């Protein structure tokens, strides 16, 4: 074993045993040359499609009835865990569900307000989607309902098509239609196992995006907090601050809004602080928003503050969610735009839900199937769009509350949904005097959870490129729009992949003392070069049109540079370590042929070490192996060096 | 040396020497852990810019005067070779230049016709650019002048802005402006060493594009060959054939055009055939076009065929190329479009010129600096645009003739340019009666050289994906337009890079008998797995947001699959061979952490073998190494297996 034997010993051994070594090496090269053909392109394509579309793993033989039942269990996980559901679990779920409802009611009204919809639509969204998710979803902690970022996305994009201030019904219909598209896209992603599309928003991009979105949402709340009538439909910082200053100059200002909003914001933040310090008081921050709503409503009702400029919710429709089937606008002229909004919301909503679901699943130690989750989310939004709901997804803040409150299963979502439904039936009239400022302060209080400065610092420490993506997305959202932020994130991320492919690194390798391992001589200063042999490794998975010329030039430059340095000993052989190169295309082969010709014209020989499966096959097909000579193909760099030294001895 | 020692022997050795091995292995891991920091992002960026913009290699110390002189020599290679130029060389160059001129004059007129310009502009383009190239270029064989593909590009794109049939002067001015932009882009590419932009058209795409363009050019010649008055400005097959059939039904048809064109086409093709059979008769196909022009002109003049429907060139302006400085239209409303056309033409023209220049340079065994060539081409087109020339580049067919005619230096281009200039001054009146059909047949006769069926077959044999790119580009040009063809080529090529990154392969590795080398067990059926240890290699240069989840899932699936197979022996350790992974981002680290947690929850340990420089650094920065335990990082897969076996023995 190479790593065990020291160098001098092995050199002796080599001299003793040069002939048999030579045979062994040739046999190894033969393994390489006679390896079976790699799977064809057609075969690979079929495999990729199969793996993408069909469920994982081999299906074990089952009876038809069993297969159907396991399929149904896959689609409706409730059939599986519902059988073993016990009263003790329900006790926990009931408590968690009630806590969740008390946080969910004020937040839903606030997010509906952020999405420029009437309050009841936020509440509807906390009734239907959680119920659908409960039968189809497999996360046990996630809390379903409207969330801040998606509400912001809708309010930033749909008003460009129809102004809600002008025609609120048409606006609402477009929101339902967008919800339908979101559900459809999510279901398709799940059914066709296209979950990887969600990965296109990298971790760093999400951190930047969430931070930017939180600040934008906070700024939007200035409208409610300051009681401004004429606000802007733009979401960027500059427009919003301009609108605020304009309103200071032009409108009468009622400081009562601000005072009520701020004092309750302080109250909520203090309860949050207490809850954080003392984990057992988790219910305090969860209850605080509802308490604030009740208290502030009472105060306004008793003091008639609404007649002194405090803006209030006023009447909104209660009762169960009505059908919205006939309100979906598929013949709208903006339908293409609406579908695009649906797609963006689908990806952002899934990203949030899967991130939150997966992180809690890994705490509890179970696995979450992303594709099944997507199907569940898609169905819940599809049904939601037919029952007057807008886009629902898993909420960061409420899921954390659900977890702390000891939820055992998704039954807590059912409890929450029923509680919200009861409130809709009975209590909407009580919310008449609720000040809008309190809704703003509830939304603002949920924002710090979205701004993750620690994570941004961590990203800075670990990966500077990722930090650039993070910060560019953040500023894109802040000063451009949510769409621009997302575009920047995806653009930089994929741009980096392309740049890495176009300009891969090429490294000089040396031998580590006492081993037969060859490593980058810059990284390992202990590594030594072998006299007369230059070992160069290509550090990219593909030698293709986009980098073949660059790599060829780099190699030739390294050869020239090293030749100038080694005046004493001429370089005879260039060993190209292709272990990293998984594939080569015709441009790559042309570059290798040119490299070979240029080396020969400089009196050097080219040796190729550890070409991968596809590479050796294509070199064979292109007749390059015959040009090069089969003696110059080696299984490993070690073999190549051995081979070169032997052939030198022979000369 | 690993490759020398047989397996059983090494195992004995291991047992004898287990303790010292352990120390050695730990020392090697230490090398890995204490390797210096890799260059920072900032440093890398600066280096990339430096390498891109500044010339290669270290500059040796020189006197200022010497440095200036070598700079001038770099810019004007004629200063270098001009000193040693001898009369014997001139004899060869003179012969080559005259042969070239005889081919160049009819081709230039034909290509000008293809580009929808008057004949003299084609001839001007064969005068000024070759002279500029002669002082700045470094290829010795290339023949500069108008070429078919670029003429087609102009005639396909500029008429969309201004119809030449309506306003031929405005059209011509836009062509000059496009030429100016082409020159400017080429010069910028050369000066800033952006030569890699030309690589974006892969070898396969060029083969497909040239084939498609040749057929499109051939179809365009039907106008001249059939003497059609009303033709289409579209270039796709369907539109052209429709236009031809329409003209059959509506216009009177003069078969004489067709008869003259075809008979001389047959004549030229026969001379070409003879020239190919007998290499010494190379001058015959080179002279045939000029002979055809003279002969057909005489025939038309003597028989008054122009009064029987044969379309003729008629009068065109002779004399030296006039200035066109004031005809450049920088204030045109279409200026953005014109710049785009200039960019496309710049890339296509450079691709053709560099391909042809490099292939002949490699035959003669000298190196061609792509960036210097680009600067030279840029300057010649810039000057050309100021002297009534349109875009010139290196021609495939004429360069081959120049080479066969024994050209020694670029002086043959000077001879050709002077000959063309003399003809312009003296002989233009003689071309009054030249039939247009003969120009069409000269262009058609040059097309078979652009359609490379052999190369397409070779591509099919070597790389199926490349063949798809080739054939898609071909059909894109044929049925869409030249732009659509180019877009398809670049789109598929980069799409493939992205797909490869998103869905990299993950392979199970086994040990090759008698070695300490670990290889893909599918490729090498002789490889054997080590009991209790699963070795998995990630086959992509980057573990990033786009593939981290996919890789994690693939690995877990492999683990599950293999665990089910190995009922006898439980898998204790998963060794992840990261030798191919050059970089990791924060999403990749998160995926590794999740993988680690899931493995631990299944009672397995994760070991990481041969992480690259950046990877080990980022894992350190992200504190993942501390979580994993430094004992689970190994320099090589061999070390990892050793380490795992030892730790098992300890247990």
Grade residue B568 by pLDDT with cuts at 50, 70 and 90. low
| Residue A31 to residue B512, Cβ atoms within 8 A | yes
Closest Cβ–Cβ partner in B48, B501, B638 for A2: B638
According to the model, what pLDDT value does residue B18 have? 52
Beta-bridge partner residues of B528: B511
According to the model, what pLDDT value does residue A567 have? 60
Q: What is the pLDDT of residues A374-393, one digit of tens each?
A: 999 999 999 999 999 999 99
A477 and A524 within one domain: no
Q: What angle do CA B172, B176, B182 make, to 5 degrees?
A: 140
A588 and A441 within one domain: no
Nearest to A125 by CA among A444, A442, A393: A393
- At which of B463, B496, B529 does a domain end? B496
Closest Cβ–Cβ partner in B35, B202, B594 for A545: B202
Beta-bridge partner residues of B584: B543
Please list every residue in chain A whose beta carbon sits closer than 8 Å to the beta carbon of residue B500: 541-542, 583
A297 and A213 within one domain: yes
Grade residue A151 by pLDDT with cuts at 50, 70 and 90. very high
Q: Is the dihedral of CA B544, B545, B546, B550 positive or negative?
A: positive
Q: Is B501 exposed, middle or buried (0-12, 13-18, 19+ CB in 10 A)?
A: buried
According to the model, what pLDDT value does residue A526 have? 86
Among the residue ranges A6-15, A145-154, A520-529, B89-98, the one predicted with the least confidence is A6-15
Q: What is the pLDDT of residues B205-264, one digit of tens each?
A: 888 988 998 898 888 888 888 878 777 777 888 988 888 888 888 877 778 888 888 999
Among the residue ranges A348-362, A631-645, B470-484, B558-572, the one predicted with the least confidence is B558-572
| Residue A199 to residue B589, Cβ atoms within 8 A | no
Please list every residue in chain B whose beta carbon sits closer than 8 Å to the beta carbon of residue A519: 635
**Average pLDDT over chain B, rounded to an integer:** 85
Does residue A75 have a pLDDT over 90?
no
ipTM attached to this prediction: 0.83
Among the residue ranges A88-92, A615-619, B282-286, the one predicted with the least confidence is B282-286
A475 and A528 within one domain: no
According to the model, what pLDDT value does residue A200 have? 80
| Residue B13 to residue A24, Cβ atoms within 8 A | no
Nearest to A377 by CA among A110, A170, A142: A142
Q: What percent of chain B has a predicted confidence (pLDDT) above 90? A: 27
Report the residue of chain A nearest B494, measured CA to CA. A498
**Among A194-208, A529-543, B53-67, the range of highest mean pLDDT:** A529-543
Interface probe for B, chosen from A45, A53, A463 (most Cβ of B below 10 Å), is A463
Q: What is the pLDDT of residues B10-41, one digit of tens each?
A: 444 444 455 557 777 777 777 777 777 887 77
| Residue B3 to residue A586, Cβ atoms within 8 A | no
Mean pLDDT of A254-278: 87
CA distance A246 to A541: 56
Please list every residue in chain B whose beta carbon sits closer than 8 Å to the beta carbon of residue A206: none
User: B475 in a domain, yes or no?
Assistant: yes
User: A238 in a domain, yes or no?
Assistant: yes
What is the DSSP annotation of A380-439?
Answer: HHHHHHHTT----EE-HHHHHHHHHTT--STHHHHHHHHHHHHHHHHTGGGGTT-BHHHH
User: Dihedral of the CA atoms A522, A524, A530, A532 (nearest 10)?
Assistant: 0
Nearest to A353 by CA among A195, A462, A481: A195
Report the residue of chain A nearest B596, measured CA to CA. A362
CA distance B218 to B447: 7
Q: Is the dihedral of CA B559, B565, B571, B573 positive or negative?
A: negative
A485 and A379 within one domain: yes
Per the model's pLDDT, the better-predicted residue between A176 and A367 turns out to be A176
* CA distances to A174, B61, B70, B71, B73 from B66, in Å: 73, 10, 6, 8, 10
According to the model, what pLDDT value does residue A12 have? 43
| Residue A561 to residue B57, Cβ atoms within 8 A | yes
- At which of B496, B523, B548 does a domain end? B496
CA distance A648 to B324: 64
Report the residue of chain B nearest A59, measured CA to CA. B561
Per the model's pLDDT, the better-predicted residue between B630 and B473 turns out to be B473
Closest Cβ–Cβ partner in A1, A202, A612 for B2: A1
Q: What percent of chain B has a predicted confidence (pLDDT) above 70? A: 94
User: A590 in a domain, yes or no?
Assistant: yes
User: A67 in a domain, yes or no?
Assistant: no
Give the closest-approach CA distance of A182 to chain B in angstroms.
22
B293 and B167 within one domain: yes
Nearest to B28 by CA among A294, A515, A584, A509: A515
Report the residue of chain A nearest B18, measured CA to CA. A4
| Residue B586 to residue A549, Cβ atoms within 8 A | no
User: B74 in a domain, yes or no?
Assistant: no
Give the closest-approach CA distance of A93 to chain B in angstroms.
26
Beta-bridge partner residues of B582: none
Q: Starting from the edge strand earliest in sequence, which strands make up the sheet with A605-609, in order?
A: A518-520, A505-511, A533-539, A573-577, A605-609, A633-634
Longest CA span, chain A: 106
CA distance B307 to B433: 11
B336 and B360 within one domain: yes
Please list every residue in chain A whose beta carbon sits closer than 8 Å to the beta carbon of residue B557: 56-57
B141 and B270 within one domain: yes
Closest Cβ–Cβ partner in B1, B462, B500 for A541: B500
Interface probe for A, chosen from B462, B500, B559, B594 (most Cβ of A below 10 Å), is B462
Closest Cβ–Cβ partner in B2, B601, B642 for A638: B2
CA A93 from centre of chain: 30
Grade residue B6 by pLDDT with cuts at 50, 70 and 90. very low
Grade residue B412 by pLDDT with cuts at 50, 70 and 90. very high
Interface probe for A, chosen from B4, B364, B611, B623 (most Cβ of A below 10 Å), is B4
| Residue A1 to residue B638, Cβ atoms within 8 A | yes
Write out the two tokens for A197: 């599309």
B555 and B419 within one domain: no
Grade residue B376 by pLDDT with cuts at 50, 70 and 90. very high
A544 and A486 within one domain: no
| Residue B5 to residue A13, Cβ atoms within 8 A | yes
User: A6 in a domain, yes or no?
Assistant: no
Grade residue A181 by pLDDT with cuts at 50, 70 and 90. very high
Report the residue of chain A nearest B550, measured CA to CA. A196
Closest Cβ–Cβ partner in B497, B583, B589 for A498: B497
Give the closest-approach CA distance of A143 to chain B in angstroms.
22
Closest Cβ–Cβ partner in A35, A362, A525 for B594: A362
Closest Cβ–Cβ partner in A56, A545, A639 for B493: A545
Please list every residue in chain B whose beta carbon sits closer than 8 Å to the beta carbon of residue A587: 199, 202-204, 466
The domain total for chain B is: 2
Domain containing B417: what range?
87-496
According to the model, what pLDDT value does residue A61 have? 52
The length of chain A is 651
| Residue A202 to residue B587, Cβ atoms within 8 A | yes
Grade residue A63 by pLDDT with cuts at 50, 70 and 90. low
Neighbours of A563 (CB within 10 A): 14
Mean pLDDT of A492-499: 88
Write out the two tokens for B394: 């290196």
Q: What is the pLDDT of residues B298-353, one digit of tens each?
A: 998 888 888 887 888 887 888 889 999 998 988 888 899 999 999 999 999 998 88
What is the DSSP annotation of B599-640?
Answer: HHHTT-EEEEES--HHHHHHHHHTTHHHHH-GGGEESSHHHH
User: A582 in a domain, yes or no?
Assistant: yes
**Average pLDDT over chain A, rounded to an integer:** 85
Closest Cβ–Cβ partner in B463, B613, B642 for A618: B463
What is the DSSP annotation of B438-488?
Answer: HHHHHHHHHGGGG--HHHHHHHHHH-HHHHHHHHHHHHIIIII-HHHHHHH
A516 and A400 within one domain: no
Q: What angle do CA B164, B167, B173 make, to 5 degrees?
A: 80
- At which of B496, B531, B551 does a domain end? B496
Please list every residue in chain B whose beta carbon sits closer than 8 Å to the beta carbon of residue A621: 461-462
B484 and B588 within one domain: no
User: B456 in a domain, yes or no?
Assistant: yes
Does residue A58 have a pLDDT over 60?
no
CATH at residue A538: 3.30.750.24
């Amino acid at each position: 074993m190479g790593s065990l034997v020291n160098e001098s010993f092995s050199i002796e051994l080599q001299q003793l045993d040069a002939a048999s070594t030579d045979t062994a090496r040739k046999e190894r090269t033969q393994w390489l040359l006679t390896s079976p053909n790699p799977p064809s392109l057609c075969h690979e394509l079929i495999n990729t499609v199969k793996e993408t579309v069909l469920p994982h793993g081999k299906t074990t033989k089952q009876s038809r009835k069993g297969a159907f039942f396991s399929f149904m269990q896959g689609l409706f996980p409730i059939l599986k865990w519902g059988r073993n559901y016990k009263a003790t679990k329900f006790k926990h779920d009931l408590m968690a569900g009630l806590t969740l409802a008390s946080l969910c009611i004020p937040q839903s009204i606030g997010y509906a307000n952020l999405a420029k919809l009437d309050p009841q639509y936020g509440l509807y969204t906390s009734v239907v989607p959680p119920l659908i998710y409960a039968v189809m979803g497999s996360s046990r902690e996630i809390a379903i309902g409207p969330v801040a970022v998606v509400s912001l996305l809708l309010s930033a994009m749909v008003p460009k098509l129809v102004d809600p201030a002008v025609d609120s019904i048409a606006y609402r219909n477009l929101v339902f239609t967008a919800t339908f598209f979101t559900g459809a896209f999510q279901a398709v992603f799940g059914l066709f196992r296209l979950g990887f599309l969600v990965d296109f928003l990298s971790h760093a991009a999400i951190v930047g995006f969430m931070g930017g979105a939180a600040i934008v949402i906070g700024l939007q709340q200035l409208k409610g907090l300051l009681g401004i009538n004429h606000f802007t439909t733009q979401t960027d910082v500059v427009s919003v601050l301009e609108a605020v200053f304009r309103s200071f100059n032009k409108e009468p200002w009622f400081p009562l809004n601000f005072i009520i909003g701020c004092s309750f914001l302080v109250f909520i933040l203090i309860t949050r602080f207490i809850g954080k310090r003392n984990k057992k008081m988790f219910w305090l921050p969860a209850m605080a928003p509802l308490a604030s709503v009740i208290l502030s409503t009472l105060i306004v009702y008793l003091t008639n503050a609404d007649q002194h400029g405090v803006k209030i919710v006023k009447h909104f429709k209660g009762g169960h969610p009505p059908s919205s089937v006939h309100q979906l606008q598929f013949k709208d002229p903006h339908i293409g735009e609406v579908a695009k909004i649906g797609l963006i919301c689908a990806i952002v909503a899934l990203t949030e839900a899967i991130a939150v679901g997966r992180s809690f699943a890994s705490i509890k130690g179970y696995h979450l199937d992303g594709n099944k989750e997507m199907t569940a989310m898609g169905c819940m939004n599809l049904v939601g769009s037919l029952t007057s709901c807008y886009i629902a997804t898993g909420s960061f803040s409420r899921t954390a509350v659900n977890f702390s409150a000891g939820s055992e299963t998704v039954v807590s979502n059912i409890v929450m949904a029923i509680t919200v439904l009861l409130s809709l039936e009975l209590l909407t009239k009580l919310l008449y005097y609720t000040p809008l400022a309190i809704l703003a302060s509830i939304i603002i209080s949920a924002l710090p959870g979205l701004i993750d400065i620690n994570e941004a610092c961590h990203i800075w420490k670990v990966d500077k490129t990722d930090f650039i993506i993070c910060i560019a997305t953040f500023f894109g959202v802040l000063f451009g729009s949510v769409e621009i932020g997302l575009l920047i994130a995806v653009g930089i991320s994929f741009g980096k992949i392309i740049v890495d492919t176009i300009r891969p690194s090429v490294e000089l390798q040396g031998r580590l003392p006492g081993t037969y391992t060859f490593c980058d001589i810059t990284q390992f200063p202990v590594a030594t070069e072998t006299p007369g042999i230059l070992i160069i490794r290509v550090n990219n998975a593909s030698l293709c049109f986009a980098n073949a010329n660059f790599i060829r030039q780099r190699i030739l430059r390294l050869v020239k540079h090293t030749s100038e340095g080694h005046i004493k000993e001429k370089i005879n052989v260039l060993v190209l370590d292709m272990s990293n190169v998984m594939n080569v295309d015709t441009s790559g082969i042309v570059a290798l042929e040119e490299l070979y010709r240029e080396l020969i014209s400089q009196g050097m020989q080219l040796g190729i070490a550890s070409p991968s499966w596809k590479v050796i096959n294509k070199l064979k097909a292109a007749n390059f192996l015959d040009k090069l000579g089969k003696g110059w193909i080696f299984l490993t760099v070690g073999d190549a060096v051995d081979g070169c030294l032997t052939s030198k001895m022979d000369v």
